[in-house]
Amino acid sequence: MPYTAEISRSNPSCLLFLIDRSGSMEDPFGAGDGKSKADGVADAINRLLQNLVIKCAKSEGVRDYYHVGVIGYGGSTVGPAFGGELAGRDLVPISELAEKPERIEERSRKMDDGAGGLVEQSVKFPVWFDAVARGGTPMCEALSQAERLVSGWTAQHPDSFPPIVINITDGESTDGNPTGAADRIRSLQSADGSPLLFNLHLSSQRAAPVEFPSEESGLPDQHARLLFGMSSPLPDHIRDAARQDGYSVGDGARGFVFNADMVSVIRFLDIGTRPANLR
Amino acid sequence: MRLRVRPLVAPKRGSTPEEYEDARWPVRSGVHRSLRCAVADGATEASFSGLWARLLVEAFRHGRLDAALTALPALQEQWQAAVAGIPLPWYAEEKARLGAFSALLGVTVTGGRWDAVAVGDSCLFHIREGELLAAFPIERAEDLAAAPHLVSSLPRHNAALPAHLRTACGELRDGDVLYLATDAMAGWLLRRLADGACHNELAALRPAGFPAWLDAQRDAGTIRNDDTTLIRIDAVADTARL
């Protein structure tokens, strides 16, 4: 059965993020309070990486359950987007990522105090990426680079849980229709199934957020429908975890969200016992 | 009646013994007249879960944790004090802020009866003459959830705990066998005990040979790779030779 391989330090998996850094990302984000879509992308990728690092963290350090890459695309630039000491690297072990954010900010967050009230806590927020917006949107080239990376990974790790590619974009590709490049990623094969391609659509439209839809009929525009069509169906265990978390997901739900958070996907990844009461 | 106790343990394959996050009491084999025994299974997805599991088991062992878990706040303070004293990098600090989680199964065996309390997916099995009399708190392998509700080291995650707290009791006779098992082993037992064919195999298990037996089961795909703890308790007549 596909998507059942154990994710462990001796049999790690791969998460590859594609981040749209094109000029159109300067436009306002429909779900944001005056933020641009570029701010939305930076926030999304930093939160995804933070949650992934924390997921893999134990008291003694971060366990390398994942190797992680980030490909940025905007203008004529498509390639590894890490800065600082990680600049130029395509896939790095998650423990290395944990040690090398660009900076760590202190933010405050309201937390449930367990007695019916809220308490404000100061939390550490690592930043690997700042907002960037310039030039066109070479999404086809970004997906082609992702295909090469993912293909190389699966050849080296044939028994691993298949790589997951998460594309964060406004969907306005300027180098052609990305459907073919997306299909090529989703048709690669490994012993445990094909790589998964998920899309996080950040739009200027003020339409209601959509999470893991099963059909495109309720989606607000052609960009959303295009990205939905490129997205893999959720594997059974991820769909079940989403349901247990209270998401209303149909049997054909796809790895696509519109103007919403995809951090939940990190929660649904299975690396061991996940307490139902851990939120 | 005497109680002959044999704990069997092995860490998840690929983990070191130091990374084993289950806890148990008793730690070693022995013979008792009465006993407060327990297993706890610290959740992989949280940090300092092994510490939390050990605190729960120790408290149950000493009778400080009753069937309503009323001593939980004191244990939570103990866990928080232990973790707060450790300098941590940002990710470990954030992870610790989420709290630790553990399943707990505590069983008191005395005067020819057992009384059990459980939260989560560690299970008790009561066998008499090769028949499964009781499986508690989970009775079917398919009910072992990927995400069980567990006891947290933080009060804010325990609001729904009373709804997930289970108790049970039973009469124990000479010759009966009890098993306390963390979830991977509980799944194996739930699948195999019904056919009654595994009693001799289980009776032959010894602490030194348990890791190899477990590895063979893992290779055959009959048990999930996880930290694994199994405590076998034989109720032995006073007149029987041990």
In a domain, B71, yes or no: yes
Whether B141 is in a domain gets the answer yes
Chain A residues closer than 8 Å to B98 by CB:
54, 278
Residue B168 lies in a domain: yes
What is the chain A residue with the closest CA to B182? A273
Write down the ipTM of this complex: 0.86
Whether pLDDT at B118 is above 70:
yes
Residue of A nearest to B150 (CA): A275
Contacts of B41 in chain A (CB under 8 A): 273
Contact B105, B122 (CB under 8 A): yes
In whole numbers, what is the pLDDT of chain B averaged over residues?
93
CATH number at residue B56: 3.60.40.10
pLDDT tens readout for residues B71-114: 999 999 999 999 998 999 999 999 999 999 999 999 999 989 99
Q: Is residue B242 part of a domain?
A: no
The verdict on A55 touching B (C-beta cutoff 8 Å) is yes
Q: Is the peptide bond before B137 cis (omega within 30 degrees of 0)?
A: yes
Angle formed at CA B11 by CA B95 and CA A279, multiple of 5 degrees: 25
- Burial level of A227, CB count in 10 A (0-12/13-18/19+)? buried
Confidence check: pLDDT of A164 > 90:
yes
pLDDT at position B206 is 94
- What per-residue confidence (pLDDT) applies to B147? 84
Q: Please say if the pLDDT value at position A114 is more than 70.
A: no
Angle between helices B72-84 and B49-61 (to 10 degrees): 140
A74 token code pair: 């905007």
Amino acid A106: pLDDT:
87
Residue B241: inside a domain, yes or no? no
- The answer to whether A203 touches A221, Cβ cutoff 8 Å, is yes
| Residue pLDDT, tens place only, A73-104 | 998 899 999 988 899 999 999 999 999 999 99
Pick the CATH number of A13-268 from 3.40.50.410, 3.40.980.10, 3.40.50.1860, 3.40.710.10: 3.40.50.410
pLDDT digits (tens, 9 = 90+) for A231-272: 999 999 999 989 988 899 999 999 999 988 888 888 888 887
Whether chain A has a CB inside 8 Å of the CB on B163: the answer is no
What is the structure's pLDDT at B185? 96
Each domain of chain A, given as residue ranges in start order, spans 13-268
Spatial separation of the C-alpha atoms in residues A272 and B224, rounded to whole Å: 10
Domain-embedded: residue B10: yes
Which structural domain range is residue B78 located in?
A: 2-236
User: For residues B183 and B12, what is the distance between their CA atoms, to the nearest angstrom?
Assistant: 12
Which residues in chain A touch residue B48, judged by CB atoms under 8 angstroms apart? Answer: 59
- Cβ distance B95 to A54 less than 8 Å, yes or no, reads yes
Q: CA torsion sign, A5 to A46 to A50 to B147?
A: negative
| Domain tally, chain B | 1
Q: Please give the structure tokens belonging to residue A183.
A: 């299909």
